[in-house]
Structure 1
Amino acid sequence: MDPGLHVKQAINHLNKVLAYYPYVAEGGEATVALTPEDWGVVADAFFHMDTPREVFPDAITEYKMSGDGSEIQVTTADGTLVHIQAG
Structure 2
Amino acid sequence: MKAKDLDKLFDEGEEDVLQYFDLARVRRVNSERELVELDLSRERLAALDAEATRLNISRDRLISQWVRERLEKASTAAE
TM superposition score normalised by structure 2: 0.30
**Larger relative CO (CA 8 A, sep 6+): 1 or 2?**
1
Quick check: which has more Rg, 1 or 2?
2
Structure number having the greater strand percentage = 1
TM superposition score normalised by structure 1: 0.28
